[in-house]
């Protein structure tokens, strides 16, 4: 080939486009994303972007995958930075979940909020990205169960038979090396944190309870205490 593509430069421009897209998204919402607006901000022709993304939908997919990866990075970093046992690491990871959402509200809306009209995420590329973050959570719950930090105790010592059957089927089907109880408690913790984060993000919490960080930490500690151990 007579003129090889400068991969480093190409990648850098691609990153600049995504960065600008993220900025636009912050200003105009996830549904306000547009190729022309991004190009305008970059002082470029709209058509120039087609060198980097075959279509707007592909650009959105890249944004989504990046967001899931960044969230997973944050969760892994929190886990590895915490020196304590699995219970303390679990606490750190759930705190990091909220922290990331608050620091990156638009990215959080992109991956966990309303779908973008006319856009359909290709599952084969987004699902692995979701799983990576969830694995951090489940892994720590499993470790806490193994170490005896989490002990079966009401009301979380049992789960509905139907729920257990679904989890068992998933674990068997995908070959995940975790117990059904760990996966169940991970979902319990995730959904609990998720609810607070979303209410905070759209300002439904603050008028009542003040600082959401305090409220979130209190709920997290209450939940972990119910799981069988006092918070670290």
Partner DNA sequence: TGTACATCAGTGAACGCGCGTTCACTGATGTAC
Q: For DNA, how many residues bind (rule: CB under 7 A)?
A: 26
Q: Does 118 bind its own copies (CB under 8 A)?
A: yes
Q: Which of 50, 112 has the CB closer to DNA?
A: 50
Geometric angle at alpha carbon 78, from 149 and 122, rounded to 5°: 105
Q: Which of 77, 130 has the CB closer to its own copies?
A: 130
Q: How many beta carbons lie within 10 A of that of residue 1, not counting itself? A: 4
Interaxial angle between packed helices 212-227 and 86-103, expressed in degrees from 0 to 180 and rounded to the nearest 10: 150
Cis peptide bond upstream of 72, omega within 30: no
Cα separation of 180 and 170, whole Å?
A: 9
Six-digit token string for 125: 């590329």
What's the closest the beta carbon of residue 26 comes to DNA, in angstroms?
A: 15
Q: Which of 25, 92 has the CB closer to DNA?
A: 25
What's the closest the beta carbon of residue 107 comes to DNA, in angstroms?
A: 19
Q: Does 214 bind its own copies (CB under 8 A)?
A: yes
Quickly list H helices, the chain. 7-28, 35-41, 56-81, 86-103, 105-112, 123-147, 161-174, 180-201, 206-209, 212-227
What's the closest the beta carbon of residue 117 comes to DNA, in angstroms?
A: 11
What DSSP assignment string belongs to 47-77?
GGGGGT-SSHHHHHHHHHHHHHHHHHHHHHH
In the range 8-47, which residues lie near its own copies by CB under 8 A? 28-32
**Residues 22-61: x/- map of binding to DNA (CB under 7 A)?**
-----------xxxxx--x--xxxxxx-xx---xxx----
Q: Does 52 bind its own copies (CB under 8 A)?
A: no
Q: Does 208 bind its own copies (CB under 8 A)?
A: yes
Q: Which of 17, 96 has the CB closer to DNA?
A: 17
Cα separation of 110 and 55, whole Å?
A: 18
Residues that bind its own copies (CB under 8 A): 28-32, 109, 112-118, 130, 154-156, 159-160, 162-163, 165-167, 170, 183-184, 187-188, 190-199, 202, 204-205, 207-211, 214-215, 217-219, 221-222, 225-226
Residues that bind DNA (CB under 7 A): 1-6, 9-10, 13, 33-37, 40, 43-48, 50-51, 55-57
């Amino acid at each position: 080939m007579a003129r090889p593509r400068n991969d480093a430069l190409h990648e850098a421009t691609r990153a600049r486009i995504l960065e600008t897209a993220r900025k636009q998204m912050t200003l105009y919402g996830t549904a306000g994303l547009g190729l022309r607006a991004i190009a305008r901000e970059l002082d470029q022709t709209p058509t120039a972007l087609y060198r980097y993304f075959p279509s707007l939908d592909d650009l959105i997919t890249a944004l989504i995958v990046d967001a899931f990866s960044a969230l997973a990075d944050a969760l892994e970093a929190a886990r590895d930075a915490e020196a304590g046992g699995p219970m303390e690491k679990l606490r750190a990871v759930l705190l990091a979940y909220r922290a990331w959402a608050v620091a990156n509200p638009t990215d959080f809306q992109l991956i966990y909020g309303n779908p973008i009209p006319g856009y359909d995420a290709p599952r084969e590329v987004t699902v692995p990205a979701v799983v990576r973050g969830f694995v951090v959570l489940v892994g720590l719950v499993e470790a806490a169960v193994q170490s005896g930090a989490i002990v079966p105790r009401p009301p979380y010592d049992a789960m509905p038979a139907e729920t257990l059957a679904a989890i068992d089927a998933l674990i068997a089907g995908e070959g995940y090396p975790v117990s059904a109880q760990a996966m169940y408690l991970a979902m319990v913790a995730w959904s609990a944190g998720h609810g607070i984060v979303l209410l905070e993000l759209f300002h439904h919490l603050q008028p009542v309870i003040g600082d959401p960080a305090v409220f979130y930490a209190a709920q997290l500690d209450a939940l972990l205490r119910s799981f069988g151990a006092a918070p670290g």
